[in-house]
Structure 1
């Protein structure tokens, strides 16, 4: 069975070092919710084992990441809008997102290209050179759709195929704050935001149902318009109307709902089988995202219930805190460290792949992400903008410097590609 592309790990938003507490009243500033780190950890584990060929339903981790991103980003933006009379500083928001996401992504792009140039087969290098600029422009998903890169059967030739979901999130981060600037003002701002989120999610579902073709579901799986409902359902859960509804549920009931929703989501992951489960694209993904949004909301209401304590366990939280960089690195690692190169298959190879991926993710967080995000004064303001331009220029120069393999070179060298049976 060929190695399939993975649903992306959603970038982690700001992590405040505060203790989890019962949900604040609507309108209060949001605090850090510890179980959500663990939820990210479970999501990335699903993706990792899916790509290693051990868990067919693990691709659904992408929806958890999308829902979490919609929830957390919308919460931060609404908190800012309430504090500033409906105004949102878009440049500051986009600057924070750039500092959070782009340094690690730039290192992965450059590092992966050099690794593939040195160690990978020619066809892997050729596709990396083709796909890299689209990744840099945050348009990788539309590039893969236009190139008809089948999500379920062609990913083992594209070392950047997993970055389609990062593109979806980045596009959301550009458009959604603009929408909030228009509707999150004055009285009833929360209701308007909730209404827009509901309308957008329903429209996105309709597009998925209408555009789905059984022969290839890549268009609806990777399209920003047809995946927006996951992000928007998460956004809906962060609005004041949703918070008021959830606040009416007692903490004990919220805990029971969290357990039930978690069990239902886990069961769906076990029975789902990619495009061999047609119901996914006829409402299944929407219902899964809705269940995830409810789970996030109830975890926020009652983080110290059994489900919350399980998700807040240290191992899951640590995985969640490196989930973005782990997502970025794992797929290139899987492809470069093929069975042939490692001399391993099955569980032993998977153990090596996981260990290498986690090590690279931890190094990325400690050496790249946290310093730029929290300590580098030059990363803000005008110097930050200059650094961004320089980074893009360096990536462009690297792309131009790496020699492109001749057409046809290595086209039959399929033994060096990873397989899902890994």
Structure 2
């Protein structure tokens, strides 16, 4: 799971159309998806913790392949597609409709850093210190996690905070977007027709999707690299296809605008088909078979379809299943999902090592419920104590990416005055 940006109501544009209320509604539904995916991630890691390893191989805690396929359904690609969709929207609107409200690259990265780094660095330093009580400890593990390079280390990729290998991919995507986005905008300005601009953007997204697919094919079929070579199959060169699918979704929805919005029945049929495809993919994705090799590129396309069925629905015909995504308890989990993603694994291991969780595989259901409850509680505290205050640092820059300046509001009375934002003197 990654730090998917909290969905914000996109600003209206000539191409996208739609009311602010409708777009805010879709943002709530994306928050619900984040909540579902976060809970699924926690349960999946508890499931892994209770695997039994013996001479015959690895055995799940519950010997039911249908349940195993449901729990093992990886949602990491959902986070990638959502993250890329949300962050690419402003670039897509600027490239296709000329509505350039994109932030400078430095400001974009600064805002992403304030959203991600305070909590991440705190957790890495705390967990690493507890596991390395005597210095220098495994200093390479610490260095790689602080620089987001542990995804390239076969030995340490899952050390300290195991799930954060995916955060390294998120950082790689940010760097890619601030390069590719402005280039796409400049290239589209030379094109006269909107159709040509849409075609250029869609072609670029397709190329970014196909490049990791080609990498996987060459690594597996031509070079015979085993699936357990984590840097080869978990690195950005293999996983950026999920982000490319999200970029394509942003381009598609900006291109369509209000045209072609689907009704509740069609949206439900598309969502059910995509969900069934994801389940079938998980069920058949066993080690060393084609479904396993190409699981993530295929899953990204299915999540693309499911999100399309959520976002491009008529405002007067919202499907009933949207009510679940909009429920308060689920959107609440979605709000704290990044903190839950950061803390749930070390919390689970702490509870297991101290005997707070049952030891036998039969105790998996109880352990999963306990870790989910404790994880959400810790994540809520973490969100309000660390994550939210850290995100406020984004206010240190204005909309143009320049440092803000503050001075006391003038008034007749002496003493402390409220601060008022002003533009920098030097432009």
Report what 1:168 is aligned to.
169
Q: How much has 1:268 moved relative to structure 2? A: 3.5
Q: Which runs of 5+ in 1 are unaligned?
A: 1-7, 385-422
Report what 1:254 is aligned to.
267
2:321 partner SS? helix
Listed one character per residue, the Cα deviations across residues 142-163 of structure 1 (whole Å, up to 9, x for unaligned) are 1x23x4x5x7xxx5xx222221
1:276 partner SS? coil
Cα distance in 1 between the residues matched to 2:146 and 2:17: 36
Report what 1:41 is aligned to.
35
Q: Which of 372, 387, 398 is the aligned partner of 1:369? A: 387
Return the TM-score normalized by structure 2. Answer: 0.73
Question: Retained in 1: the 8 A contact 2:4–2:80?
Answer: no
| Compared CA separation, residues 10 and 86, structure 1 to 2 (3 A) | closer
Cα distance in 2 between the residues matched to 1:314 and 1:24: 29
Question: Retained in 2: the 8 A contact 1:9–1:324?
Answer: yes
Report what 1:206 is aligned to.
214
Larger radius of gyration: 2
Question: Retained in 1: the 8 A contact 2:16–2:256?
Answer: no
Report what 1:296 is aligned to.
307
Tell me, yes or no, if structure 1 residue 216 matches structure 2 residue 228.
Answer: yes
Flag the structure with higher helix content: 1
Cα distance in 1 between the residues matched to 2:381 and 2:85: 28
CA RMSD in angstroms comes to 3.3
Bigger mean CA deviation after superposition, 96-105 or 241-250: 241-250
Report what 2:247 is aligned to.
235
Q: How does 1:82-121 map to 2 (within 5 A)?
A: 85=100, 88-117=103-132
Question: Retained in 2: the 8 A contact 1:35–1:308?
Answer: yes
Q: Whose relative contact order is higher, 1 or 2, with alpha carbons under 8 Å and at least 6 apart?
A: 1
Give the number of aligned pairs: 357
| Compared CA separation, residues 48 and 91, structure 1 to 2 (3 A) | same
| Compared CA separation, residues 268 and 317, structure 1 to 2 (3 A) | farther
Report what 1:136 is aligned to.
146
Question: Retained in 2: the 8 A contact 1:197–1:235?
Answer: yes
Tell me, yes or no, if structure 1 residue 332 matches structure 2 residue 333.
Answer: no
Return the TM-score normalized by structure 1. Answer: 0.74
| Compared CA separation, residues 348 and 87, structure 1 to 2 (3 A) | closer
| Compared CA separation, residues 272 and 42, structure 1 to 2 (3 A) | farther
1:13 partner SS? coil
Tell me, yes or no, if structure 1 residue 314 matches structure 2 residue 328.
Answer: yes
Report what 1:419 is aligned to.
none
1:50 partner SS? helix
2:148 partner SS? coil
Q: How much has 1:289 moved relative to structure 2? A: 0.8
Q: Which runs of 5+ in 2 are unaligned?
A: 48-60, 62-67, 405-427
Listed one character per residue, the Cα deviations across residues 12-51 of structure 1 (whole Å, up to 9, x for unaligned) are 3343599xxxx98734488342221121122122211111
Cα distance in 2 between the residues matched to 1:379 and 1:344: 49
Cα distance in 2 between the residues matched to 1:267 and 1:208: 21
Question: Retained in 1: the 8 A contact 2:119–2:387?
Answer: yes
